Chain A
Amino acid sequence: MARIEVVMPQMGESIAEGTIVKWHKKVGDKVKKDETLLEISTDKVDSEIPSPAAGVLAEIVIPEQKTVAVRTIIAYLETEGGVVTAEPAKPTANPLAEAPKPVAATVVPPVVTAVKPLAAPASGRFYSPLVLNIAREEGVAMTELELIPGTGDGGRVSKKDILAYVVAKKSGAVAAPAATPALKAAPVGIVAKPVDVPELRAKYPAPNFEILQMSNVLQKMAEHMVKSVQTSPHVAAIHEVDMTNVAKHRSAHAVEFEKKEGFKLTFTPYIVDAVAKAIKKYPLINTSIEGDKIIKKNFTNIGIAVAAENGLIVPVIKNAEEKNFLGLARAVNDLATRTRTKKLTPDDIQGGTFTISNYGVFGTLIGTPIINQPQVAILGTGAIKKRVAVIDDAIAIRSIAYFTLSFDHRIVDGALGGMFLEEIVQYLQNFDMNLKF
């Protein structure tokens, strides 16, 4: 004979406790599997609870009309098997309770394998079977793997990346990070540590809720965003931009460029270039407001919003108006690299006069970005997709994106906003295909 624990089932995501309305069986009664054992009541629903296993009701721990938290033991069944915890309300009975164990054991020993399988990646990043295989054989933990920069498609860690890492690690060039199980690489932007706050815990009990500390970056972002929306009446203008020429120029030069410069040619410098030129024509975009005064800046510092591991960071390209295309490409790459490697200095993220947010990398088509105060406008660039377009009354396949200019209507009106954005669009659409580096 073995005892099975019957626990208060969880009847819904937000349900933390339940009240026992009626026990359908008395102590000593035989009960069949799935036969109604008791009735419970929660905030949302009253339910009959089937027995998790066949046996005899050995003990009722919680009497009728009492309310207890979910997963509290409410009764014991005696069966032929071992002692196990059973949660009766699961639509499919707990497999542990279903299969009677020959010996009493509350814990199923973990299966011992020769090579320990890796933990699941917390970031959701894709790893190929080969990369996982190499990681396992070379003793690279998932927490380490998550930190290896990938050069593959979408930042994927390729065979070459992990082999280079393994070689570097063996030669001592990279120190393996301490294997702290708490170190989870969370999705971009929400790295936050679990904390325990008693008053919140009472309201949001474990394990259904987790309470996390907002990082400083997150707190600052929240503060800034609220302040910006309160300060500036936001208006969004959305234009369609045909990126075909830019895409052609880029792919025509991509290989040669990477060979020469040692980094990949991206779309970003094209857009920064277009913005810097458009600001020259419409300098009122490059301002801020103090009281009833307009502060006009005679330099163009373009910030680029980057989703970094610990939140949103906006590194700034200083004096973009003075740089040629190659200079901009180098500046963009330098900032991107230092953002990734966490080598940005405070100076790198200050003094912006205009901001670009490229949410297109996440597949977003159209966004309405929030202005980065005290600036008065921000450009959001959507994903570039091939679309059918009409050119000279003929149908063509073009690489199209939607650009949004969010602007502060205290100083920028629809006419200026529209003209400024159209200037960017025209520059990109008619990009100088002969531009060499």
Chain B
Amino acid sequence: MATMTYIEALSKGMWEEMERDRSVFLIGEDIGAYGGAFKATKGFQQHFGEERVIDATLSEAAIIGAATGAAVVGMRPIAEMQFADFVTCGFNQIVTNAAKTHYRWNLPVPMVVRLPSGGYIHGGPYHSTNPEGWFFHVPGLKIVAPSTPYDAKGLMKAAVRDNNPVLYFEYKYLYRRIKGEVPDEDYSIEIGKGDVKREGSDIVIFTYGSTVHHSLEAAEILSKEDGVETMVVDLRTLLPLDKELIINSAKSTGKVLIVHEDTLTGGIGAEIAALISENAFKFLDAPIRRVASLDTPVPFAPPLEEYFLPDTNKIVKALRELSSF
């Protein structure tokens, strides 16, 4: 057991998978000698060589296309988008080729696309997006979004070993801010299973990624100041959703708050809300609430970014409104 940062954990996950399986290789922009924009692959090329850690051309379409092709012939590529925002240039490769090849030709596409996502870093509108919503609607993909070092490593290993294209959303905000214990031994986290990060019987928060931490903070405040106990469910996997956990937690608490960093309209929260009202309507004691980013591009100015993004205070406010409903 070692304590490490979020980025060290996901990096460790990739390293161990590359050691374990020679078919695993990396492809991305500046990931080789430079070690990646965020140093997630620092030292990888020196250790594994240029053939397994490929500095790609500045084309996301080429990176994902190459990864898809390699996966089809039996490799297990991990493709890095330097920022998740840039995935749009490889969008067609993901939704048309990677997502549909298994269905169309019975050829599995075991690949991982790493997507450094999100704000709280004053990165402005082109380096802070949370684009999971665009892919959430695409059958044939899996989507994971870890919030802790333990989950980051475990889900990385599960993603590499999965026979489907897995989009791995990782949070720049959490990279060096969050530390946690990570087992030395080999382990993986089942894709499709959420995790109860905090128990509670009064309200449940469904969240993932960066906002798991804000949600946990808010839950502590409610517990201390209001005596209200909030369950915090970290979805961990967005596609497929852990429907059983979502429905049962909604039933056991009767009050639901959904928190995500992605913008509100058409986000993951909308699907969760629909799922709950279809399956647990009779157990609801209050309207389902959502806290998410505003429906605008991510602002650059720090005060505006703060206003735009979900934070602990906004979650506390929503929890109090739900609690007093």
User: Interface residues, chain A, CB within 8 Å of chain B?
Assistant: 128-133, 152-153, 156, 158-159, 255
A-B contact pairs, 20 of them (CB 8 A): A128-B254, A128-B284, A128-B285, A129-B281, A129-B282, A129-B283, A129-B285, A130-B254, A130-B283, A130-B285, A131-B285, A133-B282, A152-B324, A152-B325, A156-B325, A158-B285, A158-B325, A159-B254, A159-B285, A255-B225
In Å, the complex CA distance between A255 and B320 comes to 12
**A129 and B325 contacting across the interface, CB-CB below 8 Å:** no
User: What residues of chain A lie closer than 8 Å to B325, measured between beta carbons?
Assistant: 152-153, 156, 158
New contact pairs (14) apart from A129-B283, A158-B325, CB-CB < 8 Å: A128-B285, A129-B282, A129-B284, A129-B285, A130-B282, A130-B284, A130-B285, A133-B282, A152-B324, A153-B324, A153-B325, A156-B325, A158-B285, A255-B226
A136 CB → nearest B CB, Å: 9
Is B286 interfacial (CB-CB < 8 Å)? Answer: yes
User: What residues of chain A lie closer than 8 Å to B225, measured between beta carbons?
Assistant: 255
User: Interface residues, chain B, CB within 8 Å of chain A?
Assistant: 225-226, 254, 281-286, 324-325
In Å, the complex CA distance between A129 and B281 comes to 6
In Å, the complex CA distance between A129 and B284 comes to 6
User: What residues of chain B lie closer than 8 Å to A132, measured between beta carbons?
Assistant: 282
A-B complex: 6 closest residue pairs judged by Cβ atoms: A130-B285, A159-B285, A133-B282, A128-B285, A153-B325, A130-B254
User: What residues of chain B lie closer than 8 Å to A131, measured between beta carbons?
Assistant: 285
Among A130, A152, A158, the one with the most B-chain Cβ atoms within 10 Å of its Cβ is A130
Q: Which residue of A lies closest to B322 (CB)?
A: A153
Q: Which residue of B lies closest to A130 (CB)?
A: B285
In Å, the complex CA distance between A246 and B282 comes to 39
User: What residues of chain B lie closer than 8 Å to A255, measured between beta carbons?
Assistant: 225-226
User: What residues of chain A lie closer than 8 Å to B282, measured between beta carbons?
Assistant: 129-130, 132-133
User: What residues of chain A lie closer than 8 Å to B286, measured between beta carbons?
Assistant: 128
A270 CB → nearest B CB, Å: 20
Q: Which residue of A lies closest to B226 (CB)?
A: A255
User: What residues of chain A lie closer than 8 Å to B254, measured between beta carbons?
Assistant: 128, 130, 159
Q: Which residue of B lies closest to A151 (CB)?
A: B324
In Å, the complex CA distance between A131 and B281 comes to 11
A38 CB → nearest B CB, Å: 48
Among B282, B283, B285, the one with the most A-chain Cβ atoms within 10 Å of its Cβ is B285
In Å, the complex CA distance between A372 and B6 comes to 69
B196 CB → nearest A CB, Å: 20
Among A132, A156, A159, the one with the most B-chain Cβ atoms within 10 Å of its Cβ is A159
B24 CB → nearest A CB, Å: 48
In Å, the complex CA distance between A184 and B126 comes to 61
In Å, the complex CA distance between A130 and B324 comes to 16
In Å, the complex CA distance between A132 and B281 comes to 11
User: What residues of chain A lie closer than 8 Å to B284, measured between beta carbons?
Assistant: 128-130
User: What residues of chain A lie closer than 8 Å to B283, measured between beta carbons?
Assistant: 129-130, 133
In Å, the complex CA distance between A133 and B280 comes to 11
In Å, the complex CA distance between A132 and B282 comes to 8
In Å, the complex CA distance between A33 and B284 comes to 46
User: What residues of chain B lie closer than 8 Å to A133, measured between beta carbons?
Assistant: 282-283
User: What residues of chain B lie closer than 8 Å to A159, measured between beta carbons?
Assistant: 254, 285
B311 CB → nearest A CB, Å: 20
In Å, the complex CA distance between A133 and B282 comes to 6
User: What residues of chain A lie closer than 8 Å to B324, measured between beta carbons?
Assistant: 152-153
Q: Which residue of B lies closest to A137 (CB)?
A: B282
Q: Which residue of B lies closest to A161 (CB)?
A: B285
A252 CB → nearest B CB, Å: 13
User: What residues of chain A lie closer than 8 Å to B285, measured between beta carbons?
Assistant: 128-131, 158-159
User: What residues of chain B lie closer than 8 Å to A156, measured between beta carbons?
Assistant: 325
